[in-house]
Chain A
Amino acid sequence: MKITDLPTIWLCKVVYWVLRKRGSHGAALPGLIAEKLNPGLVKKLCDLPEGIIVVSGTNGKTTTTHLTAEVLRRAGKRVFTNHSGSNMTRGLLASIVRFSTIGGKLPYDIAVLEIDEAYAAKLSPVLRPRAAILTNVLRDQLDRFGEIDHTANLLAELARNTTELVVCNANDSRFAGIATTGECKLVRFGFAPALVDNFPDDDALYAKSRRSVPHKNDFTLKSVVAGKATVSSSGGVRSYDVSGLPGWHNAINITAVVALVDSLLGESDPDLFVGLQPPYGRGEAVLVGDKKFVLQLVKNPAGFRTSMGVLPGASALVVINDFIADGRDVSWLWDVDFSSFADRKLVLCSGTRGYDIAVRLKYSEVVSDVEVDVERAILRFVAESHGGVVFLSYTAMLSARKVFTSLDTKK
């Protein structure tokens, strides 16, 4: 430990404590202070006895991190993890100062970190993760990352700096060139060819023919039947409970977790997976009276397309903001096929770009209403619908959750 580490930790803890007392979440400022004073504090994670697991990629980072951390916890490990949205250096530092002891120790066995693609490339030579999960590379925040192929290169850099195990999505053609160095093992997971229609990717959207997917992976998702996802590997065929995790995207997330846990711990006991729930805002269910609402984060065309199947036919509220964390550009809404929205009872649009969605829907012959203010839109949606899906861009998800938490009757 460096001599400056302890004062940084203390100062940030005090700031965090004061902010909490004043009713704020208090995550951002301590991270900012730590980054200014002592960015090298991030190396504290390297001292954890069982190393660091990094999860990166466009979609599924938060859910995969959350599920991996939960399964490892159930396997008896003390797991350090960062909270969703805190996936850049600043966020990692905020979690480190918060969860360090007063003596400056991190009382954990292993870290499972969600890291943004650009920061994963930057931080991996420093952190030298033991294992990495690469979820996928999809079009997302082009106003920030520029181009998809560039994002694939960032993740290749993460793979090169990983020491023991890289778990990588075999269905993503942009990962074909992923290579590991030294003793590091490469394990590929994917879905069986018969399931291809459930996983639209960017290239498949406008392609004429159905894309081909590899027939043999190290871990293959075979089917999802009655809340059970069946995964086959050289260790045999096993089924995992996904009853609390709606959507095909979650079945493939579970396959990635199985691949990682199997390869690291020797075997992934299905009992460790029973009753797993999604992290907040990613298919999370809230109850208001007897009405059920599912909060579904949508960040990009592929993510929106795969979550179209959540409560089909039910009413929908779509909230799209254009703050930096959402992406300023909302052109991507035109790469989502909204024709199935015609079957939905009530469709309401909201957010700073609520009118952009309404226009998009109009050109798919879907009639909708606009209520730009998020809180008013939610109150109206709750009153006028019998429950339904709320599709949310990132910052919209944060504000919608606050409103729904105050309405939630489950608590």
Chain B
Amino acid sequence: MRPLKIVHLYPSEMNIYGDTGNRLVLEKRLQWRGIAYEIVLVAIGDPIPTDADIIIGGGGQDKSQTLVAEDLFTKKSALKALVDSGCVMLMICGMYQLFGKEFVTSAGESIPGLGLIDVTTVAKPGRIIGNVVVDMSGVGEVVGFENHSGRTYLGNGVSNLSKVIRGVGNNDDSGYEGCRYKNVFATYMHGPVLSKNPVLADMLIRLAQSRLGVSTELTILDDTLEQTAANIAAHRPR
């Protein structure tokens, strides 16, 4: 099998909440199992590798998000082809919003998004901040930290990623966190989310492998530290 290609979108611009850690978690979990991989960093102006297996993107400052939004449009067709072919993607916070159809500012102005996933985000006063615990289908309990002022509303074309056990999630009313469309996982969860949720990290790896026709089981790793950290985080004050 060829090395698994992990693509990290905009590491210089979208890196403010520690989401770069997701890359390190994937990298190490592949390395510890002896699975060959390759990391590609995509900056503004760089092309998206058409043979990407896992694409990750994180949260950024408002200013960086504006810069990135412009560049993302030049990559729209490449990304759409990858989404349609089942490429595994993990889009956090700002990138979750940018992948959606539109972003409505507090002034009521609509800024078009990439439209790769059927969600709309509306800016509202009051930030949603705190520890969050969700129940994610196929994974179980997932812990993270949410910090966003945009409220995201899901359309019919996507499904809920997880049900909120503790915290707020997509918006003040729905009780759900994140969304899933094909193999795109979009969420507001920082932490970084893969660091304390190795089951989710491994699910992404497994999905990417099976898309390439690899069916061997992943070697079991000792995740005691990660699980202990997750249990503690789930019970800390919000």
Q: Which residues of A contact B (CB under 8 A)?
A: 139, 142-143, 146-149, 202-203, 205-208, 322, 328-335, 352-353, 355-356, 358-360, 362-365, 370
Contacts and interface: CB of A to CB of B under 8 A. Distances in A.
B145 A331 contact: yes
A359 B229 contact: yes
Interface string B8-38: 0001100111111100110010000000000
B6 to A, nearest CB: 15
Contacts, number: 95
Interface string B99-139: 00000000000000000000000000001011100000000
A208 B44 CA distance: 12
B196 interface: yes
Contacts of B12: 203, 206-208
A359 B225 contact: yes
A207 B44 CA distance: 12
Looking at chain B's contact residues, the main secondary structure is: mixed
A82 B147 CA distance: 32
B25 A206 contact: no
A205 B15 contact: yes
| Contact residues on B (Cβ < 8 Å of other chain), bracket | 35 or more
A254 B212 CA distance: 58
Nearest to B238: A328
Interface of B: 11-12, 15-21, 24-25, 28, 43, 61-63, 127, 129-131, 145, 147, 149, 190-192, 195-196, 225-226, 228-229, 232-233, 236-238
Contact of B18 (A146, A148, A328, A333): A333
B25 A358 contact: no
Contacts of B191: 331
A146 B149 CA distance: 9
B147 A329 contact: yes
A355 B232 contact: yes
A123 B15 CA distance: 32
Given A205-B15, A206-B11, A329-B190, A352 B20 contact: no
Nearest to B18: A331
Contacts of B192: 331, 334
B190 A206 contact: no
Nearest to B28: A363
Contact of A328 (B15, B24, B130): B130
Contact of B21 (A203, A322, A329, A331): A331
A149 B66 CA distance: 13
A405 to B, nearest CB: 28
**CB-CB nearest 4 A-B residue pairs:** A334-B21, A331-B18, A355-B229, A334-B18
Nearest to A143: B129
A148 to B, nearest CB: 6
A184 B148 CA distance: 37
A363 B20 contact: no
